[in-house]
Structure 1
Amino acid sequence: MTVGSEILSKFGRKADDPLIIQKCEDLIRIFNFSVEELFINWESYVLTGASDVNLQLSPENLEKLKDYLQNKLVQAAAQKNNTTPMMKNKIVRSVARGNINGSSPLMGLNTPSTPVSSQKKRKLVTPSSSSTTPSKHPLSSSSPIKKSVQVSGKIIESLNEHIPSLGGLKSDTDQTPNVSTSNITLTANFDPKKYQFRTMRQKLLDTADVLDEQIDSMAKTLQKHHKIPESEFGNPCIASQFSVYCCGRIVPDSPSAPVEIRLNPDSLFLETSRLGGIGQRISIDVQFLSEYSFFPGQIVGFKGKNPSGERFIVEQVLDIPYLGAPASNKTELLEYKTNLDGSSMKTTVLSGPYTPSTKIDYSLLESFVEKLNTEIKPHSVIMFGPFLDITHPSIKDGSIESVPEIQGKKITTLDGFFRAVITPILKKIDSRIQVILIPSTRDSISSHAAYPQNSFERKSLQLPKNFKCFPNPSSFQLNECLIGVSNLDSFKDIKDVNRGKIGEKNRFDRIADHILQQRRYYPSFPGALKTRTGSDGTVEHISGADLDMPYMGLSELYDVLPDVLIIPSEMRYFVRVVKNVVVINPGYFLTGNNAGTYVTLSVKPPNPEGDDDDLTCINDDDQLYIHNIWKRARVDIISV
């Protein structure tokens, strides 16, 4: 007798409906019931859970039965662990992720327009010193900045060396000097109001909802991509002799495990969502996999079985589909080409700190600005913080030796220090150059010390209009080139356990692939911590990822992969091509007291009417072209 026949014989003619039979079979598979057990639970629900003895058998009421059974499992698990579950009488369904303008507020994409609180003024406690003026650099260091081993201006590493490193601003004698006339188009792909949330107000329930939504949305993606029926997705924590598909998050074996601990194949657990497995964790056995790469916080899809109820044996890792590539129409591409007179678009990328670790000294940044204007001449500059590092010893101790005065009054706040010392240096950048500032959570001038992070306030920093302050992370377009930026060190913080050929790949390629596949700039969870051990042996927390989980939806890649992904890291500088995305770590402008590196990105102009393969036409009717920046761009990593 088939399962459907058993259901009809047990429930009677009221079950003679394909939808009802399908729903009953789903419940049997999910909860590992026999038909008899399902009937008993239905009767129990009618008498106790629904309080309606005349409740009709229907797909909708069977869905309510499913919620009722899950609720009972939650209560049983809570009693077993002698803890009271947060969601004792209610299973909250996660909301499906929408687009950037209409998505769940729990994912941080429809955040309330709460005004940013007034920025706290930090006092500078400094020894007495002679008065100086902001026009002259007041902060010379007794420990001069050491040039790197590499010769200044030397190209250390390149991508697409065959492409000429030309382009940039032209010295046009007909053009009035220092008049802002940009010939590139800068477009922001984010809503700045969504980053204006208050920090240090996380609620445990909101965090849980976001973590659940990440799993549930990925489960839907995997079902659609692999064409897996919903009935074949099950709970990996329930004992079953049959293989099921499941989706969850990789976590260590103990919830109290230190953040910095490294995983090993025997310490891997899978955490389910409330919808997919009532939030339980189960140990996973990966010994039958020929290759894998897992890290804490990674969302994965598995096929396997749990015969004992204590360990899920993984038989297959489901491939997560990548987002598509950005595309532009022919008219836009020709317009970008015309605006640049057929020359390449040139962008310079540099990342803080901009002062040595022993003293506050911006002389190297000042000389680099002169080099930008006279030698490099880019169309745009992307500058990552920190500009004034709150963890710098001189800032932390208030031991800045020389503080400038403005109109006879000594500067007493770090905001005022930025305006008096750093702003005059930045203002020297040619006004034709578009400058994009990305904050760091270590920036003392930022009142938003959490990730995702709100942008600087340009007007309060007294910066000119060619400066654009963008949030961290964010995405924007320079002409047709879509650039994604994040100022949180994913390459250092993601520590994976791997096996097989995937472990033989370059580590930076592997981590970049994880970022693109997970569709988040910072897919690791929990976030990393940075500590410092004092002379007395005490451990001090000085920095870290500082994740604001209810708003982590703002750290997603959204609808398409970027053409260029820039994430500064403490790790060695590099430029790689991963899944046709140019991935760049520009290195730091200064490392300790040594001059570091910066990057120049030169992109050949798009030519949709040419015969070369620099562009890929994907729709002849609409004349849409994939940008293929990885083919058209030359990237040079250069010593400062």
Structure 2
Amino acid sequence: MATNEEIKKEFSRSGFALVEEDEILERCVTLCINYSLKPSELVSSWELYHLNRQSIDQTVKNDEMDGFLLHLQNQQKESIMKEESGLHIYSNRDVDMLLDGIPEDTEDDIVSTPTNKSQRLLPDPFDSISKSRDYGYSTGKSVGHVTPFGQRGQKFVVRFNIGDAAAQAENGDNNDVENSEDDMIIKKVLTRRRCSLKVNGVGPEPGCRFMYYRTEDRFDSLEKRIVRHADAFAASGLYEEQVDPAVASQRSIFSVGMICCDGEGFLNDKSILLQSSAERTSGQRVPLDLNRLNQFSIFPGQIVGIEGQNPSGHYFTASKLLDTVPLTLTADVDLPPAKKQNLDQEVLTLAEESREKSEVSFIIASGPFTTLDNLLFEPLSELLAHAKRKPPQLLLLLGPFVDSNHPEIEKGAVDANFSEIFQVEVIRRVQEYVEFMGSEVRVVLVPSLRDANHDFIFPQPPFDIHIPDLEHQITSLSNPGTFEANQVKVGCCTVDVLKQLSVEEMSRNPSGVPTDRLGRLASHLLRQRSFYPLYPPPESLPYDSKLAPQALQISSIPDILLLPSDMKYFVKVLSIGEGEDAAKCVCVNPGRLAKGEGAGTFVELTYKGDPESMHASVISI
């Protein structure tokens, strides 16, 4: 039976605060009993309900419970209907052959696994209601049938704005309709000047060997990370000489180490350990007491500086916790210099690059790029149609593209292999978009661990894409990866590190003080100078300890940080450091372009040299 404490813990872990705690918990316990739900399942249903209502605040109110009850009833009804249906769903190919008696080789709409990819019919990439190429998978719909995605009443609705041009952008997006052919030609002519693009080659290369690391490699990567941060604290000159935290001392000392958990569960007041460097100190783990601190935010794998006392040698009591690496660390001496690949055909002078830095426009979208009820990739077609009407300088597409979590992919109900689906449904659509828009636009693709057609390893190499005459316009990035567009530094990571940090994080804040939890989670990456500071990673993450030190390191604070996540979309300006020397970074979670069988969100962003003059919009398709 679910208890109040279990339910409260699950809500807190998901970032929700209970406004009227006692009444809400009492009703939640009743819901768990009536609908045979575990606390985790109840909170998952609440997150879906909260997302559908498009609420901004992360609170649970008593007056919302009636609507939540109706949501649970609808879920229960749908599950019962699905269990009792007992229907076997045939593919379009099977049904058409049985009813019409059409031979397998005579119709282009009924495709098996062709040997010649050019024989397939590719629909208009900007038509959201296109004919299916089936690949033998089950969509549950006849060929050419209008899908729920295509029946949406509103398209391109602005959900959120930041910047001075908010009102103008909102009016433009809400009234966005299909342009005439003449308008499209005008838009094409008026496209902004192409931005410069330099990719920092610090990630693994396509075809690299992975999962060949030893236990020593894992230890060395952790040890070097602790030493690197300890050197940064020492180089700043702001702190005392570092002392072994496991050695008994009556005076106040300063030490640098990694937060660990004493066991396999989550962090709590009794399970926090501090592991110091084996090279500089003893490398032992000592229990850490944070009860004297009014505010902190920690997670396993976090490197921190601690001021405190350890009189007995058995317990280190902290009086101050520093979770930000000093900004004096601008480069990692242990890593080779990053290779920068200039993707411009022409060589730009420094003066030209300086002028171009005034403005860069992006469209940022994260997969999945097709809805769960089919593999028609309608959201991707809609996105490219929008990008054709309002062309950015840089179109950023973040995986997954061929989502391994898609029902048809999981069931193996497709005749084509995953690489063919990726080439036909994604690359050819992107290629036609670039060819139509001309040489002014660029497209950057970043893979995901959920891509069924790519290496299942983190860090992840880029897609091996070679398109003649378009190699300078369609670029693939490693995951995580960094690049510079008009000297604007951009970093991105498609692993849902925000969601994983939200599960493992333990925090304490002064009562009555509002907190920005999503901003705090995102700032952990910048404070730790790592795209993935969590350690140990979840069992589901194929973490390679030999590739990670070079690929995950953030050598300098980027201007824009892209962190696609299942959590709520946002565009936030993060500040790292204090005073005038503080570094600012625009952090973006564009949301998912497709959510279930419906539409999701993407982000339009114009960066004009600094976050203060930036304009960003979160748009729902």
Kept in 2, the 8 Å contact 1:323–1:559? The answer is no
**Contact between 1:437 and 1:468, CA under 8 Å: does it hold in 2?**
yes
Cα shift at 1:277:
3.8
Secondary structure of 1:430's counterpart equals helix
**What are the equivalent positions in structure 2 for 1:303-322 lying under 5 Å apart?**
303-318=307-322, 320-322=324-326
Find out whether 1:135 has 2:135 as its counterpart.
no
- The answer to whether residue 396 in structure 2 is matched with residue 395 in structure 1 is no
Q: Structure 2 unaligned segments of length 5 or more: list them.
A: 1-90, 95-103, 105-109, 112-119, 124-130, 142-146, 173-181, 331-347, 576-583
Is the aligned partner of 1:590 residue 2:576? no
Tell me which residue corresponds to 2:370: 355
Which residue identity lines up with residue 392 of structure 2 in the other structure? P
User: Which residue of the partner structure matches residue 210 of structure 1?
Assistant: 221
- Give SS of 2:546's match: helix
- Aligned-partner SS, 2:572: strand
Query: What residue is the counterpart of 2:490 in the other structure?
Result: 483
Distance change in 2, residues 1:512/1:191 (3 Å)? closer
Check if 1:383 corresponds to 2:392: no
DSSP-derived class of the 1:304 partner: strand
In the alignment, the residues of structure 2 paired with residue 208 and residue 150 of structure 1 have an alpha-carbon distance, to the nearest angstrom, of: 55
The alpha-carbon distance between structure 1 residues 289 and 458, as it changes in their structure 2 partners (threshold 3 A), is: same
Residue 570 of structure 1: which of 566, 570, 585 is its match?
Answer: 566
- The offset of 1:564, in angstroms, is 0.6
Conserved 8 A contact 2:272-2:288: yes
Query: Is 1:507 matched with 2:517?
Result: yes
TM-superposition CA deviations, 1:606-640 (whole Å, max 9, x none)? xxxxxxxxxxxxxxxxxxxxx42x11210100001
The answer to whether the 8 A contact 2:203-2:481 is kept is no
CA contact (8 A) 2:526 2:554 kept: no
Whether the 8 Å contact between 2:529 and 2:555 is mirrored in structure 1 is no
Equivalent residue, structure 1, for 2:301 = 297
> Could you tell me which residue of structure 1 aligns to residue 526 of structure 2?
516
Matched, 1:224 2:248: no
Bigger relative contact order (CA 8 A; separation at least 6): 1
Partner of 1:538: none
Which of the numbers 549, 555, 561 marks the counterpart of 1:553?
A: 549
Aligned partner of 2:161 among 158, 162, 171: 158
**147-156 or 420-429, which moves further after superposition?**
147-156
Q: Check the 8 A contact 1:305/1:313 in 2, yes or no.
A: yes
Q: How does 1:189-204 map to 2 (within 5 A)?
A: 189-191=200-202, 197-204=208-215
Cα shift at 1:338: 5.8
Identity of matched residues, %: 26
8 A Cα contact 1:419 1:462, kept in partner = no
Equivalent residue number for residue 632 of structure 1: 613
Match of 1:270 among 264, 274, 284: 274
Cα distance, 1:219 vs structure 2: 0.8
Question: 1:252, 1:445 → 2: CA distance?
Answer: 35
Q: SS of the residue aligned with 2:121?
A: coil
Structure 1 residue 247 displacement after superposition: 1.1
Report the secondary structure of 1:491's partner residue: helix
Partner of 2:433: 429
Q: Distance in 2 between matches of 1:297 and 1:461?
A: 44
Query: Could you give the per-residue CA deviations for residues 268-318 of structure 1, whole angstroms, max 9, x where no partner exists?
Result: 111222124433211111111121111111111111222222211112213
Could you say which residue in structure 2 is the equivalent of 1:288?
292
- Tell me which moved more, 216-225 or 578-587: 216-225
Distance 1:145 1:470, change over 3 A: farther
Q: Cα offset for 1:212?
A: 0.7
Residues 379 and 593, structure 2, Cα contact 8 Å, conserved in 1: no
Offset at residue 203 of structure 1 (A):
0.9
**Per the alignment, in what secondary structure is the counterpart of residue 547 of structure 2?**
helix
Q: How many Å separate the matches in 1 of 2:613 and 2:554?
A: 24
Question: Does the Cα contact within 8 Å between 1:482 and 1:564 map onto a contact in 2?
Answer: yes
Deviates more, 1:417-426 or 1:430-439: 417-426
Q: In 2, are the aligned partners of 1:452 and 1:554 still within 8 Å (CA)? A: no
Q: Given residue 518 of structure 1, which amino acid in structure 2 is its aligned partner?
A: Q
Aligned to 1:600: 604
Offset of residue 545 of structure 1: 2.9
What does 1:321-360 correspond to in 2, within 5 Å?
Answer: 321-323=325-327, 335-336=352-353, 344-360=359-375
Q: Secondary structure at the match of 1:309?
A: coil
Give the partner amino acid of 1:159. Answer: I
Instruction: In structure 2, give the amino acid aligned to 1:190.
Output: G
Q: Which residue of 1 aligns with 2:8?
A: none
Contact 2:236-2:328 at 8 Å conserved across structures: no
Aligned match for 1:470, one of 463, 466, 477? 477
Per-residue displacement from partner, 1:358-386 (whole Å, max 9, x unpaired)? Answer: 4322123223322221x221111000011
Q: Unpaired segments of 5 or more residues in structure 1?
A: 1-125, 404-410, 530-543, 605-626
Aligned mates of 1:150, 1:567 — CA distance in 2: 30
Q: Distance in 1 between matches of 2:353 and 2:469?
A: 31
Give the residue type in structure 2 aligned to 1:436.
V
Equivalent of 1:525 in 535, 548, 572: 535
Measured in 2, the distance between the counterparts of 1:437 and 1:297 equals 29
Cα distance in structure 2, aligned partners of 1:207 and 1:325? 23
- 1:440 maps to 448
Structure 1 partner of 2:28 = none
RMSD: 3.5
Q: If you compute each CA radius of gyration, which structure gives the higher value, 1 or 2?
A: 1
